[in-house]
Structure 1
Amino acid sequence: MIADKDISLTFMKGMEVLEAFEHAATPLTIPELSRATGINRSVTRRLVLTLVQLGYLLEANRAYTPSPRVLRLASGYLKERQFGRTVQPVMAAYSKRLGDAISLAVRDGTDAIYVAYSPGDPALITSGFSIGSRLPLTATAIGRVLLAFSEPGEIERILAEPTAAYTPATKTDPDAVLADLATTRARGFAHVTGEYEPGVASIAVPVMGSNNIAKAALGIVGPAARFEEMEVCAAKAALLSECAETLGSFV
């Protein structure tokens, strides 16, 4: 645990301002950012102007948007893991074999965040998610497989919080989610239908690290009708697992 005296609260607040843009569909004003972050308006103003000065935010008509410079914050992570040179070509090869778009995600708190994506047949893409998109751990296959193969204490901690219902089919009862996580561990892949988007199914497998803990997950998404038969799901999961094993030393 890092001691409070060793933490820069100002820097932390600056990062909160940047993160406030994650779900923003339009530019945000300083009052809107202040409300979103809970930071005093005058402090928010100074943080925003600093981010503008550094080139991480752009201003137009007293509203602000992230600039392309924010991508620098992720470049070191992607370069270290050879995403462009190794991960992306491997995913592209398996995407072609599967006939499905493949997404690679890692866990970030209570979300799964996409860090790589390889398109299959564009006609089969339903979600429109891209690199940087976040999905809940409890209602998606790619999130659920990350949760299933995480530390037991983390599973208990996350399921202790109320689970959001995204569709009428979303499992919100912790015992129901726990049962599904046990099934996921037993068969080696997650299969979720209609819990995040109506009529949409997803399949995901873990990219395993040490101690049988998932360090990432690979997933595919499509119309529920394509993934009704478990034999089809198992076959696709087997190819995804082959891809995951190939990527294991890179991600």
Structure 2
Amino acid sequence: MAGRTSQPGQSVTGRVLMILELFERSLAARSLSEISTETGLPLSTTHRLVGELESWGALQRDANGRYQIGLRLWELGQHAGRQVREIARPLLQDLFTLTQETVHIAVRERAEALYIDRVYGTRRVPQASRVGGRLPLHATAVGKVLLAFEEPWVREAIISRPLESRTPLTHVDPDALRAELAVVRTRSFATTVDETRIGATSIAVPVFQNGLVGAALGLVTTTDAATSIERHLPALRGIARRIEASVGHFPLQSLRQPASTGRKGSDPEAETRR
């Protein structure tokens, strides 16, 4: 039985998740009144629920008394999908060793590509994503792979939505995108050039599990290397097959949980400077 709420059909659990979801959209610290305003919850209710979340460790206050995500919630998230990430990370490192480029793995989260892990190369590439960050499926190579091998109704639902132009070169025409994804399914890889950030080109291949696409493995480099980027396909496909064989029964979708922010290959803070 749901707890008492002022909005019919809204459970206490639903309200708590609304509060936590604010910090998924933005990690900025918030005051109690800001949390109340953003969630639409009464201030008294917000005060009670935020207090309970703080006591448990899901939220904590900064030096100014504003609320932010607590360490205990982060620690809890690390347990989910850990087996899969521990399998995938050394293989991602292998891919970096073979290519010397920035490599990453992503899964679909609604209409976006969620970046799970990344190994940074030494080449200075305009970066548009971070570990734990999201980008539109239609504008990224990993996203196009995920979209191309999704169920047709899912693919159509996403393509039919207004498509964001990340740059003037982002492919946003629905019919042209449908044709492009058909080619991706035929070739089993996708590429982008200057679609997410000017100066960056990417390539990606699918990672399958039980006949379905579970993740996408990608590589990003500078646009001046776009004409030769397909030379990395053997390495990408080889590592993708190794991930498929190594993961076994662990669901690739459990990769969605938080992962650490950098891997040895270059400075893990480099993304903030590129």
Q: TM-score range by the shorter chain?
A: 0.7 to 0.9
Contact 2:128 2:197 in 1 (8 A): no
Q: Does 1:245 align with 2:246?
A: no
Total equivalences in the alignment? 240
- Output one character per residue of 1:111-163: Cα deviation in whole Å (capped at 9) or x when no partner: 11122222232x33431743211121111111111111111110011112211
Partner of 2:156: 156
Secondary structure of 1:27's counterpart equals coil
Contact 2:203 2:230 in 1 (8 A): no
Q: CA deviation at 1:35?
A: 3.8
Q: CA deviation at 1:77?
A: 2.6
In structure 2, relative to structure 1, the CA distance for the partners of 1:8 and 1:117 (3 Å cut) is: farther
Q: CA deviation at 1:71?
A: 2.1
Aligned partner letter, 1:116: D
Aligned partner letter, 1:33: I
Contact 2:194 2:223 in 1 (8 A): yes
Q: CA deviation at 1:25?
A: 5.3
Aligned partner letter, 2:213: A
TM-score, normalised relative to structure 1: 0.86
Q: CA deviation at 1:201?
A: 1.3
Partner of 1:226: 225
In structure 2, relative to structure 1, the CA distance for the partners of 1:214 and 1:53 (3 Å cut) is: same
Aligned partner letter, 1:223: T
Q: Does 1:114 align with 2:115?
A: yes
Alignment of 1:8-157 (within 5 A): 9-24=11-26, 26-60=28-62, 61-81=64-84, 83-84=85-86, 86-121=87-122, 123-127=123-127, 129-157=129-157
What is the alpha-carbon distance in structure 2 between the residues aligned to residue 163 and residue 68 of structure 1? 35
Secondary structure of 2:234's counterpart equals helix
In structure 2, relative to structure 1, the CA distance for the partners of 1:165 and 1:73 (3 Å cut) is: farther
Q: CA deviation at 1:26?
A: 3.0
**Higher relative contact order (CA closer than 8 Å, sequence separation 6+):** 2
In structure 2, relative to structure 1, the CA distance for the partners of 1:9 and 1:197 (3 Å cut) is: farther
Aligned partner letter, 1:235: R
What is the alpha-carbon distance in structure 2 between the residues aligned to residue 39 and residue 180 of structure 1? 44
Q: CA deviation at 1:8?
A: 7.5
Aligned partner letter, 2:239: C
Contact 1:96 1:120 in 2 (8 A): no
In structure 2, relative to structure 1, the CA distance for the partners of 1:219 and 1:154 (3 Å cut) is: same
Gaps of 5+ in 1: none
What is the alpha-carbon distance in structure 2 between the residues aligned to residue 201 and residue 246 of structure 1? 24
What is the alpha-carbon distance in structure 2 between the residues aligned to residue 41 and residue 141 of structure 1? 44
Q: Does 1:207 align with 2:210?
A: no
Contact 1:100 1:124 in 2 (8 A): no
Aligned partner letter, 2:161: E
Q: CA deviation at 1:47?
A: 2.6
Contact 1:147 1:181 in 2 (8 A): yes
In structure 2, relative to structure 1, the CA distance for the partners of 1:41 and 1:163 (3 Å cut) is: farther
TM-score, normalised relative to structure 2: 0.79
Secondary structure of 1:237's counterpart equals helix
Contact 1:112 1:143 in 2 (8 A): yes
What is the alpha-carbon distance in structure 2 between the residues aligned to residue 118 and residue 35 of structure 1? 39
Secondary structure of 2:23's counterpart equals coil
- Output one character per residue of 1:188-216: Cα deviation in whole Å (capped at 9) or x when no partner: 111011222122111111101233x2100
What is the alpha-carbon distance in structure 2 between the residues aligned to residue 62 and residue 136 of structure 1? 34
What is the alpha-carbon distance in structure 2 between the residues aligned to residue 43 and residue 203 of structure 1? 48
- Output one character per residue of 1:32-64: Cα deviation in whole Å (capped at 9) or x when no partner: 333433444433333322221110111133311
What is the alpha-carbon distance in structure 2 between the residues aligned to residue 187 and residue 126 of structure 1? 27
Q: Does 1:235 align with 2:231?
A: yes
